Structure 1
């Protein structure tokens, strides 16, 4: 993966902190989306707001889902395989958009492309799609 822009790095680091906060066994898509939403200054969050997504509702649903997945394990795996897929998708989107670096909006597109997660389904139910996000990025 190419060099990540600072905001993307901070989003990933914050997602790792959320793994510990929710006593999750590994980083999953929901941690990544919650981290994006928690940082209201990134382009992905601004796009979601522009589309009309109720970020408080999404945040509440993500937190509820993560609390339900809580584990008492002391050994925590670092990352779910879906996260690697999302990073690869995000890199592909960045390259197709002519960007040298992967940023939050590319991670959002990666989450949407990996359509089987709880997080992506929440986004779809809120009217978010790859096409809508791409349209906002290009405008």
Structure 2
């Protein structure tokens, strides 16, 4: 299921599991995925949420208010709830709909919004986020990156090593990594 996920998106899933453990929850729900998206801090999803004034602390506080802490720390594997699995499936649909062959943090956030009924959606609404507006913000951020790519010239963009601001911001140079 995670083969199309970017490194950041995979990190979000790992962070979601950590957030579930921190709250002593023995499942990974949409709320933990939302916490993972914000906790990751660098991807399009985190930037979109941050630009709307949604912080990790505020989301954590809302999750604790709605669900509370679990009784004891879970051990071993923590499964996804059916709703969280649906969000991950919807993230693939969102990616395909946008013509992307990868699943990034932005697609996971779009999946959370499209699902619209989980604890994550409730938390976003409680924090004053209008779900269609969050979606619009993500699309705007994505088109902002794409819009800065050269339209006609095939050469690298001025001041941009790869010629693509999206690659420069979210990619990594394999040559440097190999050194």
CA distance in 2, matches of 1:17, 1:32: 10
Equivalent in the alignment of 1:108: 109
1:58 matched to 2:94: no
Higher relative contact order (CA 8 A, sep 6+): 1
Structure 1: runs of 5 or more not aligned: none
CA distance in 2, matches of 1:13, 1:49: 20
> Following TM superposition, by how much is the alpha carbon of 1:69 offset from its aligned partner in structure 2, in angstroms?
4.6
1:81 matched to 2:82: yes
Q: TM-score, normalised by structure 1?
A: 0.83
Structure 2: runs of 5 or more not aligned: 141-179
Contact 1:37-1:59 within 8 A present in 2 as well: no
Matched residue pairs, number? 137
CA RMSD in angstroms comes to 2.3
> Following TM superposition, by how much is the alpha carbon of 1:108 offset from its aligned partner in structure 2, in angstroms?
0.8
Equivalent in the alignment of 2:39: 38
> Following TM superposition, by how much is the alpha carbon of 1:55 offset from its aligned partner in structure 2, in angstroms?
4.8
Distance 1:65 1:6, change over 3 A: same
* Greater radius of gyration (CA): 2
Higher helix share: 1
